Amino acid sequence: RMPVSVPAADRRQRASAAFSLSFLSLVFSITAFSSSYWCEGTRKVAKPFCTGQSKGEHCIRFNSPDANSSNAVQYIWETGDDKFIDRKFHAGIWYSCEEILNEEGEKCRSFISLTPAADRGVLWLSIVAELLYIILLLTGAILMSVEMCYYSTVIDGLKINAFSAVVTVLAGLLGMVAHMMYTTVFQMTVNLGPEDWRPHTWDYGWSYCLAWASFACCMAAAVTTINKYTKTILEFKHKRKMLERSLKNKYKFPDH
C-alpha cells in the first residue's frame, strides 16, 4: 500500500466542522422531539360564570344575584363575542396542552388521541421516522468522532468518511419526511379533530423551527463530509500522478 500524505491540519478542520454540525443537529432534533411547542395558537372558548369571589375578564358576572332575571339574560345577549375568551394552547408530537382559565397551570392531552383515526397511521410513521432520524444522526456523529481521533492510513479514514456521509444523508432524508408527515397530520387534526380542541388561530412554534434547523445542520454536515471525501480522493489521485511522473523521469534519466 502506497502511503499518501494529505494535509492533516486541513483534514482535521473539515472533520471537526462536519462533526460540530452533526452534533448540533442531534441536539436540536432531540430537543424538538421531546417538546410540545411544534404548533402554538389560541382556542375561542366560552367564559364560565363567575362563582364566589371570581373577578376579572375571565368569567361572566351578573348584575343581579338572580340568575334568571331579565337583566342577566339581556347582559349576555348584548355582550355577544365578549362572552368568549382566547385560551392559549401548544401541541407537539406527543402532547397538546392548553391553559386553565382562572387557574395556574395547564391541562394536557395526548396528541395521538386527538388525531383523526384515519391519520394515526401517518402520525406513527412520523414518530418512527423521527426516532430513526435521531438514531442515524447519533451513528453519524459517532463515526465522525472516530474519524477525527483515528490517525491511521488515509484509506481507512476514507472508508469511515464515506460511511458517515451515507448515514448522514439518509438521516436528513428521513428527517425531512418525518417533519412533512407531522405537518400534514397536524393540519388534518385542525380540520377534523375534536370540537373541544380545534384552534381558532395557530402557527408553528419554536420546536418546529428547531426541527427544521436540525435538518439544515444535518444536510450541511452531509455536504461537508462528502466535500471532505471528494477533496481527499482528488488529493490522493494528484499525488499518485506526481509520484508516477517522478518515477518515470527517474528511470528514463540513465537512457539519456
pLDDT per residue of the chain (256 residues) written in tens, 0 to 9: 444 444 556 667 878 888 899 999 999 999 999 998 999 988 877 666 666 555 555 666 655 455 555 555 444 444 555 666 778 889 999 999 988 766 677 888 899 999 998 989 999 999 999 999 999 999 999 988 887 776 556 677 778 888 888 999 999 999 999 999 999 999 999 888 888 888 888 899 999 999 999 999 999 999 988 888 787 777 767 666 777 667 766 666 555 4
Q: What per-residue confidence (pLDDT) applies to 77?
A: 44
Name the one residue in this structure whose C-alpha cell is 430537543.
31
Q: Rounded distance, CA 2 to CA 246, Å?
A: 15
Residue 18's domain comprises 8-36+116-234
Residue 239 maps to a domain: no
Q: Which residues of 22-37 are buried (b: 16+ CB within 10 A; e: fewer)?
A: bbbbbebbbebbebbb
Burial of 68 (0-12, 13-18, 19+ CB in 10 A): exposed
Query: Is residue 85, in this structure, part of any structural domain at all?
Result: no
Q: Cβ distance 167 to 146 under 8 Å?
A: no
Instruction: Classify burial at 246, counting beta carbons within 10 Å of its beta carbon; exposed 0-12, middle 13-18, buried 19 or more.
Output: exposed
Place of cell 382556542: 43
Domain annotation covers residue 15: yes
How far is the C-alpha of 39 from the C-alpha of 93, rounded, in Å?
Answer: 10
Find out whether 15 and 176 touch, Cβ atoms under 8 Å: no
Within-domain flag for 212: yes
Res 48: pLDDT: 63
pLDDT at residue number 218? 94
For 233, the enclosing helix (H) or strand (E) is helix 206-252
Count of domains for the chain: 1
Please report the sign of the dihedral spanned by the C-alpha atoms of residue 41, residue 44, residue 45, residue 50: positive
CATH code for the domain of 208:
1.20.140
Cα distances from 169 to residues 45, 87, 99, 163, 221, in angstroms, run: 45, 41, 40, 10, 9
**Cell numbers given for 100:** 386553565
**Rounded CA gap, 251 and 55, in Å?**
100
Contact 92, 207 (CB under 8 A): yes
Identify whether 136 is part of a domain: yes
Of 212, 182, 168, 219, the residue nearest 29 (C-alpha)? 212
Residue whose cell numbers read 386553565: 100
Asked whether residue 151 is domain-assigned, the answer is yes
Give a yes or no: residue 64 inside a domain: no
* Strand-by-strand arrangement of the 95-99 sheet: 106-110, 95-99, 84-91, 39-46, 201-204
Asked if residues 144 and 21 have their Cβ atoms less than 8 Å apart, the reply is no
Position 24 in a domain: yes
**Which three cell numbers, joined as nine digits, stand for 103?**
387557574
What pLDDT is attached to residue 43?
A: 81
